[in-house]
Structure 1
Amino acid sequence: MAGTELDAPVVIVIDDDPMVRRALDSLFRSIGLATTLYESATAFLATQAPSRVSCIITDVRMPGVSGLDFQKALAAQGVTTPVIVITGHGDVPMSVGAMKAGAVDFLTKPFRDQDLIDAVNEALERDRRTRERAGDVAGVEARYAQLTPRERQVMDLVVGGLMNKQAAAELGLSEVTVKLHRSSLMRKMQVHTVADLVRLSQDLTPQARA
């Protein structure tokens, strides 16, 4: 089923120069990508994190929050949207700083349109993979939430490598009871093998286990 305009990828452009914003808006719309434009990092930070696949293009030097400080602010807020940094005054330390902060690319003006398009495509694909992974983890945590406290205990022991008889001894239960709990939790977690259960358990956060 084809995606709608509301869930199509979007390129977020943050630059204090209106001419740059218009030029980038025109460039990305010419290849079928939606854009959202902001004149400052502060204006973007006042909004909610993007709910669809996206990437951010920002200038290093802007009034208020600079591009590098903006990257730090995103990290502090837990926003994982990939960032591409552009500048007309780039230098090696600045480039290294941007990349260490997680930038997908660092482009010095003037750059070729194709170089920026390539960077954007890479960033959008990275965000798509991140969101798919987050969706998978959320699904695992939702299934884990359906387990009873006893099933969670059995799951921890099974994942830890204990056989049914050993788990029964650990919990003070009969082996038959442990088998029933194990069968139930495997069904709820939607897995057929212990190896799959181990793999899913690695996706669970401490918060989900609490």
Structure 2
Amino acid sequence: MASTKSADVFVVDDDLAICESISSLLRSIGLKVKTFSSGLSFLNAAELEHPDCVILDVRLQGESGLDLPTIMRSKNIDSPVVFISGHGDIKMSVSAMKTGALDFLAKPFRDQELIDSVAMSIKQCNQRRNTSEMLASLRTRYATLTMRERQVMTHAVNGLMNKQIASILELSEVTVKIHRKQAMDKMCAKTFADLVKMEVMLADGITQ
């Protein structure tokens, strides 16, 4: 559990006893926990703090927890969600997972089940944020490329040889080689394979 140390977990449940029980358990393994009794109070805090994991009761007083993941996405809150419910059945668990939740636990659940789900959520959150940071860095580097360098880079990663690129762009082969090297230097690509991976990541990031 070392990788989960200092992670932030939000617990959303209108049952105070459940909130206190979960909070005590997770704090005992080094996590920082905040509890909320309503979806609105949770959303207001999550929009500012973006927790690493959200433990969310399916049924909250006067509202459905199943609606919250959609609202979270609309507010760019990308925290993984673990649903819990004291009235769990197959239909409800399917509905919960269709919202994009990472896991669904029926009460009463074992402490270790919850700990495992939270650990998995935090790991996913860290991976997602690392990817976002990497993509932001790539976009910053890509922005420094000239139009010609971008054109050469795109054609190169699509498998065209320098001679073919030169013909398409009406440049000399020497000029293409220069642009290609400059693109690799600016993108901090140690190998051509690295450059290909960067292009793919940029393309995927743009379409998401």
Query: Normalization by structure 2: what TM-score?
Result: 0.89
SS of equivalent to 2:82: strand
Show the 5 A alignment for 1:30-45: 30-45=28-43
Show the 5 A alignment for 1:126-165: 126-165=124-163
Paired residue type of 2:155: L
Show the 5 A alignment for 1:64-143: 64-143=62-141
Cα distance per residue 1:17-45 (max 9 Å; x no partner): 22222221111111111112212111122
Aligned length: 203
What is the Cα-based RMSD across aligned positions, in Å?
2.1
Deviation of 1:57 (Å): 0.2
Q: Distance in 2 between matches of 1:141 and 1:69?
A: 33
Q: Distance in 2 between matches of 1:49 and 1:121?
A: 22
Contact 2:50 2:79 in 1 (8 A): no
Contact 1:42 1:64 in 2 (8 A): no
SS of equivalent to 1:78: coil
Higher relative helix content: 2
Contact 2:85 2:106 in 1 (8 A): yes
Identity of aligned residues (%): 46
Task: Choose which of 28, 33, 42 in structure 1 pairs with 2:26.
Answer: 28
Q: Distance in 1 between matches of 2:189 and 2:11?
A: 43
Residue number in structure 1 paired with 2:11 = 13
Q: Distance in 1 between matches of 2:137 and 2:82?
A: 30
Contact 1:145 1:208 in 2 (8 A): no
Please say which of residues 56-65 and 90-99 is displaced more in the overlay. 56-65
Change in CA separation of 1:25 and 1:164 when aligned onto 2, cut-off 3 Å: same
SS of equivalent to 2:130: helix
Q: Distance in 2 between matches of 1:95 and 1:42?
A: 23
Residue number in structure 2 paired with 1:192 = 190
Q: Distance in 2 between matches of 1:46 and 1:119?
A: 24
Deviation of 1:148 (Å): 1.0
Paired residue type of 2:94: V
Contact 1:158 1:194 in 2 (8 A): no
Change in CA separation of 1:106 and 1:202 when aligned onto 2, cut-off 3 Å: same
Cα distance per residue 1:53-79 (max 9 Å; x no partner): x10001000134411111222233333
Deviation of 1:207 (Å): 7.8
Paired residue type of 1:158: A
Residue number in structure 2 paired with 1:171 = 169
Which blocks of at least 5 consecutive residues in structure 2 are unaligned?
Answer: none
Q: Distance in 2 between matches of 1:71 and 1:114?
A: 24
Deviation of 1:206 (Å): 7.6
Q: Distance in 2 between matches of 1:136 and 1:82?
A: 20
Deviation of 1:129 (Å): 1.3
Change in CA separation of 1:103 and 1:51 when aligned onto 2, cut-off 3 Å: closer
Query: Normalization by structure 1: what TM-score?
Result: 0.88
